[in-house]
């Protein structure tokens, strides 16, 4: 891992650890009247230094890392195998990523940064909370966003989401995991339906793949659904949502 990426990962970890810490704690680390108090009125520098954040990470913090840097750091944190990286911190990083890609420009950065493949692989993560967040991020990224909808189709994401919505557990490459006796959880299935709803509305290729997948599973008749006909799309999505809810 390069020094710059390590610094960003340190920054992300620090941000997660301190996301709920009051600034008064940081300010208490400085003596009254010290010149540094004037330069750092919130005490953020002192708090960061006290937690061992290195100068490069401090520079990234106060120099303003780009959204692209933060997205890369978030994904690296989520996929980390470091035992000190907790599930809670990974979920926080995922939440940060989801908020970043609410911006259309950032959603389209997923492709440029090579993040679509690892994101879709996380649909098969062992932790259900991670799978749920992966569905959520996909749904946010493709909502009213044709370039991202196109990328999802190209990478086989619609097939994966359809399988999850119907209760399948997946392998990292998107196939049905025959080794998993348990079905997908209700919450994850519902979030997969949300992602499919975002992916298929007003984008015909996604709608065609979904109806084809449902037909293969004996769900629906495989008839062509107009992706711009919201009532027709709702019939398909509502049926999936009802199945997930009643699972």
Average pLDDT (180-187) is: 86
DSSP assignment string, 154-204: HTTHHHHHHHHHTT--B-TTSSB-TT--SPPPHHHHHHHHHHHHHHHTT-H
pLDDT score for 20:
44
pLDDT at 73 over 50: yes
Residues 6+ apart with CB under 8 A from 86: none
Q: How confident is the model at residue 98 (pLDDT cuts 50, 70, 90)?
A: very high
Q: What is the per-residue pLDDT for 65? A: 86
Q: What is the rounded average pLDDT of the residues 119-132?
A: 97
- Other C-beta atoms closer than 10 Å to the C-beta of 175 total 14
Res 46 pLDDT > 90: no
Whether 86 contacts 45, CB under 8 Å: no
Predicted confidence at residue 176, as pLDDT, reads 81
pLDDT of 4: 52
> If you average pLDDT over every residue of the chain, what do you get?
82
Rounded CA separation 23/47 (Å)? 9
* 151/47: higher pLDDT: 151
What domains are defined for the chain? 101-245 (1.25.10.10)
pLDDT at 170 over 70: yes
User: What is the C-alpha to C-alpha distance for residues 12 and 93, in angstroms, rounded to an integer?
Assistant: 8
Q: Which of 19-23, 39-43, 58-62 has the highest mean pLDDT?
A: 58-62
pLDDT at 30: 41
**Short-list 101, 69, 73, 83, CA closest to 16:** 73
Quickly state the pLDDT bin for 178 (edges 50, 70, 90). Answer: confident
Would the pLDDT of 171 be above 90?
A: no
Structure-token match 């493949």, residue found = 117
φ, ψ of residue 167 to 5 degrees: the values are: 105, 0
Confidence of residue 91 (pLDDT cuts 50, 70, 90): very high
């Amino acid at each position: 891992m390069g020094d710059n990426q390590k610094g960003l990962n340190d920054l992300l970890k620090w941000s997660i650890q301190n996301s709920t810490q009051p600034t008064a704690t940081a300010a208490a680390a400085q003596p009254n009247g010290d010149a540094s108090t004037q330069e750092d009125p919130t005490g953020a520098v002192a708090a960061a230094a006290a937690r061992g954040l290195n100068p490069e990470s401090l520079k990234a913090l106060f120099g303003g890392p780009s959204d692209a840097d933060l997205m890369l750091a978030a994904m690296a944190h989520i996929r980390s195998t470091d035992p000190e990286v907790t599930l809670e911190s990974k979920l926080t990083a995922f939440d940060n990523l989801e908020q970043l890609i609410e911006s259309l420009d950032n959603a389209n950065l997923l492709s440029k940064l090579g993040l679509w493949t690892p994101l879709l692989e996380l649909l098969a993560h062992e932790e259900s909370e991670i799978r749920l967040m992966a569905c959520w991020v996909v749904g946010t990224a493709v909502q009213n966003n044709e370039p991202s909808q196109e990328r999802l189709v190209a990478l086989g994401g619609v097939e994966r989401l359809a399988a999850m919505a119907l209760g399948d557990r997946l392998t990292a490459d998107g196939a049905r995991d025959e080794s998993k006796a348990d079905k997908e959880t209700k919450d994850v299935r519902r979030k997969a339906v949300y992602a499919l709803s975002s992916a298929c509305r007003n984008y015909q290729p996604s709608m065609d793949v979904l109806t084809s997948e449902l037909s293969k599973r004996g769900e629906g008749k495989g008839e062509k659904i107009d992706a711009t006909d919201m009532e027709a799309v709702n019939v398909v999505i509502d049926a999936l949502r009802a199945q997930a809810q009643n699972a």
